Structure 1
Amino acid sequence: MSSGVLDEAIKKAAIAWVSVGDGPAYALWCMPVENSLAVISGPGEQFAPDLAQAERATMRLRGDHGGQIVAADAVVTRLLPGSPEWDEIAPQLATKRLNASGTADDLVARWVENGCALVKLTPAAESAVGTAELPAESAAAPPRETPARIETRRPFRLHRVRKR
Structure 2
Amino acid sequence: MTAEPSAELLDRALIEEAAKKSGLLWVRRDGGRDRALWHAWVDQAVVVVGDGGEQPLGDLGTGLDVVVTLRSRDKWGRLVAFRAHTELLAPHSEAWQAAVDELKGKRLNALDHDTIADRWAADAQVLRMVPQGPSVEHPGAMPDVAHAAAPAPTGATTREPIPAALPRLVFGRKRRGAS
Shorter-chain TM-score range: 0.7 to 0.9
Q: TM-score, normalised by structure 1?
A: 0.83
Q: Work out the CA distance in 1 between the residues paired with 2:140 and 2:160.
A: 48
Greater CA radius of gyration, 1 or 2? 2
1:57 alignment counterpart: 66
Q: Which one-letter code corresponds to 2:76 in the other structure?
A: G
Can you give the 5+ residue segments of structure 1 that lack an aligned partner in the other structure? Answer: 155-160
What secondary structure, in the 3-state scheme, does the structure 2 residue paired with 1:43 have?
Answer: coil
Contact kept in structure 1, 2:16 and 2:41, CA below 8 Å: no
Offset at residue 129 of structure 1 (A): 2.1
Give matches, 1:8-157, under 5 Å.
8-63=17-72, 64-104=74-114, 106-114=115-123, 116-148=124-156, 150-153=157-160
Q: TM-score, normalised by structure 2?
A: 0.77
Comparing 52-61 and 22-31, the one that deviates more: 52-61
Offset at residue 133 of structure 1 (A): 1.8
What secondary structure, in the 3-state scheme, does the structure 1 residue paired with 2:140 have?
Answer: helix
Change (3 A) 1:151 1:74: same
Contact kept in structure 1, 2:86 and 2:128, CA below 8 Å: yes
Q: Superposition RMSD on alpha carbons, in Å? A: 2.2
Offset at residue 162 of structure 1 (A): 7.4
Offset at residue 91 of structure 1 (A): 2.6
Offset at residue 102 of structure 1 (A): 2.0
Q: Work out the CA distance in 2 between the residues paired with 1:6 and 1:112.
A: 28
Offset at residue 66 of structure 1 (A): 0.7
Comparing 84-93 and 36-45, the one that deviates more: 84-93
Q: Work out the CA distance in 2 between the residues paired with 1:125 and 1:107.
A: 34
Q: Work out the CA distance in 2 between the residues paired with 1:88 and 1:53.
A: 18
Q: Which one-letter code corresponds to 2:159 in the other structure?
A: T
Q: Work out the CA distance in 2 between the residues paired with 1:92 and 1:136.
A: 35
Q: Work out the CA distance in 1 between the residues paired with 2:130 and 2:110.
A: 26
Can you give the 5+ residue segments of structure 2 that lack an aligned partner in the other structure? Answer: 1-6, 169-179
Q: Which one-letter code corresponds to 1:143 in the other structure?
A: P
